[in-house]
Amino acid sequence: TLDDFINRYFIKFRYHAINKQFEDKINKRRESIIKQLTLQIVKNDNDDLS
């Protein structure tokens, strides 16, 4: 599915968090971006169907 594709795409972005306290923030931000992209794509698909 498209959601799986987006997840695989973003997982390819590797990072090295020197300070481990930022690792959780980075993961949360990545998840937020994935959700925003997915919701926007779904919205556009629904608009095309109407």
| Crossing angle between the packed helical segments 21-49 and 2-11, to the nearest 10 degrees | 150
The separation between CA 47 and the C-alpha centre of its own chain, rounded to angstroms, equals 21
pLDDT of residue 41: 66
pLDDT band at 49 (very low <50, low <70, confident <90, very high): low
Q: What is the pTM of this model?
A: 0.52
Who contacts 37 (Cβ-Cβ below 8 Å, separation ≥6)? 6
- Give the tens place of pLDDT for each residue, 1-47: 777 777 777 776 666 667 778 888 888 888 888 888 878 766 666 66
Tokens, residue 40? 């926007």
pLDDT of residue 48: 65
pLDDT of residue 14: 62
Q: Where are the domains of the chain?
A: 2-49
